[in-house]
Amino acid sequence: MAIEDAIRALHNHWDDVVARLEPPRKRELAELVGALDGPERRRAVTAIADLLVEELPPDHPVRRALARGYLLAPAVTDWKDLAVRLDALARGLTEVSLGPGESVLAGVMARLLQAPALSEDEMRRRGADPDDPDLIWLDRPDGGRQWPEFQFAPGGGPLPVVRAVNDVLDVANDPVGAADWWLSSNAWLDGQPSVLIGVVPDDHLLRAARALSAEV
């Protein structure tokens, strides 16, 4: 795996990564992303890798991708496309307040909670177990829980491919991270994984998840 794969992982987990950074480091990351599509790309990629190693825990998907990578090893990468995608995220970052009170993670949660979901009662009516460790559940501000609907067949129970991918994503320990993976654009799949269920082969979804979440 090349360093480009870790940069793709950064794109897929952008909100979570940014939520872990202090304001000066957020600004530094935004500046480095802006240099990815220019003559300073090599320096920018190296600096981004250093920043992520310093700021992210060892078990974070982006750190894992870095640990598996070989810095600047050859890989088939559309750098311009990847740089444009990341730059769009970085511009959004620099346009919001970066003060100490900011909570990017809260914004991520708000976005995830807006996705169609089932209540616990709806889960039970479908014969599903609310305590199933292979399903994503999210805490609501009102103290309740909800289960993103994409995990289920129309009118039915959990989809086998979703359970398999969730297991790869370690959903039992990181349901928010798993939900963010499913409900965010994925550069490897060229689309949102939850929308691609049944559209692309199940194995494509599994391979995309393993690319980010396989153990070092």
At 206-215, the pLDDT tens digits run: 998 887 655 4
Separation between Cα atoms, residue 85 and residue 79, nearest integer Å: 10
pLDDT at 148: 96
Write a three-state SS string for the chain. CEHHHHHHHHHHCHHHHHHCCCHHHHHHHHHHHHCCCCCCHHHHHHHHHHHHHHHCCCCCHHHHHHHHCECCCCCCCCHHHHHHHHHHHHHHHHCCCCCCCCCHHHHHHHHHHCCCEECHHHHHHCCCCCCCCCCCCEECCCCCEEEEHHHECCCCCECHHHHHHHHHCCCCCCHHHHHHHHHCCECCCCECHHHHECCECHHHHHHHHHHHHCCC
Residue 76's pLDDT band (boundaries 50, 70, 90)? very low
Domain boundary among 102, 121, 152: 102
Decide: helix, strand or coil at residue 108: helix
Report the pLDDT averaged over residues 44-53: 84
Question: How many domains does the chain fold into?
Answer: 2
State yes or no: pLDDT of 119 exceeds 90.
yes
Q: Are residues 181 and 195 in the same domain?
A: yes
Of the candidate ranges 58-72, 90-104, 142-156, 157-171, the one whose mean pLDDT is the lowest: 90-104
Domain of residue 29 covers: 3-102
Q: Are residues 76 and 166 in the same domain?
A: no
Q: Position 58: which residue type?
A: P
Q: What's the token pair of residue 59? A: 């078990």
Q: Are residues 110 and 91 in the same domain?
A: no
Domain boundary among 69, 87, 102: 102
Report the pLDDT averaged over residues 109-128: 89
Q: What are phi and psi of 169, to 5 degrees?
A: -80, 5
Q: Are residues 130 and 197 in the same domain?
A: yes
State yes or no: pLDDT of 93 exceeds 70.
no
Q: Are residues 201 and 124 in the same domain?
A: yes
Separation between Cα atoms, residue 207 and residue 160, nearest integer Å: 15
Domain boundary among 102, 122, 157: 102
pLDDT at 59: 73
Q: Which has the higher per-residue pLDDT, 46 or 92?
A: 46
pLDDT at 3: 62
Mean pLDDT of the chain: 78
Residue 4's pLDDT band (boundaries 50, 70, 90)? low
Q: Are residues 112 and 28 in the same domain?
A: no
CB atoms within 10 A of CB 206: 15
Residue 88's pLDDT band (boundaries 50, 70, 90)? low
Its pTM stands at 0.57
Separation between Cα atoms, residue 10 and residue 52, nearest integer Å: 9
Q: Are residues 39 and 88 in the same domain?
A: yes
Q: Are 187 and 196 in contact (CB under 8 A)?
A: no
**Nearest Cα to Cα of residue 165 among 141, 148, 146:** 148
Q: Are residues 67 and 146 in the same domain?
A: no
Q: Are residues 109 and 209 in the same domain?
A: yes
Q: Are residues 79 and 171 in the same domain?
A: no
pLDDT at 44: 84
The partner residues of 145 in beta bridges, in order of sequence, read 139
Separation between Cα atoms, residue 61 and residue 212, nearest integer Å: 5
Q: Are residues 65 and 153 in the same domain?
A: no
Q: Are residues 114 and 97 in the same domain?
A: no
State yes or no: pLDDT of 166 exceeds 90.
yes
